[in-house]
Amino acid sequence: MVQTMDSKMNKKLLINGWSVCVGSMDTITGILLIFMPDLVLKLLGIAHPDNSSWVFLSWMGVFITGVGLSYIWALGNATQGKVLWKFTAMIRLMVAGFISWKIVAGELQLAWLLVAISDAFVALIQFVILRLDWWREVDS
């Protein structure tokens, strides 16, 4: 299949733009969870947990920051980008499933559904682009 230079450039811009946007979203959210977890919960409409839970929210923040920063690796290297996108999409689906399960079980507030939906959406987009093999196309 013949691919125009414009099509290739558009796909590369989308892949890089997605990586920067999603990576920034995770990095900022993670940093806020580390240093201001109460602000994140307030923005999500989630009631404050008991005092012993704050350290775990900050710990989650470290992980989320790491995931966000890892998207930088997706820039400019198709092999690393494909692996990173597969890995982060898998993690996001696991998070979405876990949160949904805990909401249904009554262990998490319904407000957490926003996190589950956003993670599932990001995973879906990444899996679609991986399935379409855009990474290979922009690398060639």
From residue 5, give the alpha-carbon distance in Å to each of 1, 9, 13, 138.
13, 6, 12, 10
User: For the whole model, what pTM was predicted?
Assistant: 0.90
User: Which residues constitute the domain of residue 81?
Assistant: 5-139
Residue 40 CB partners (closer than 8 Å, separation 6+): 29, 32, 33, 57
Helix (H) or strand (E) holding 121: helix 113-131
19 closest CA partner among 83, 62, 63: 83
Residue 79 CB partners (closer than 8 Å, separation 6+): 139
As for how many domains the chain has, the answer is: 1
At 52-80, the pLDDT tens digits run: 889 999 999 999 999 999 999 878 788 89
At 41-55, the pLDDT tens digits run: 999 999 988 888 899
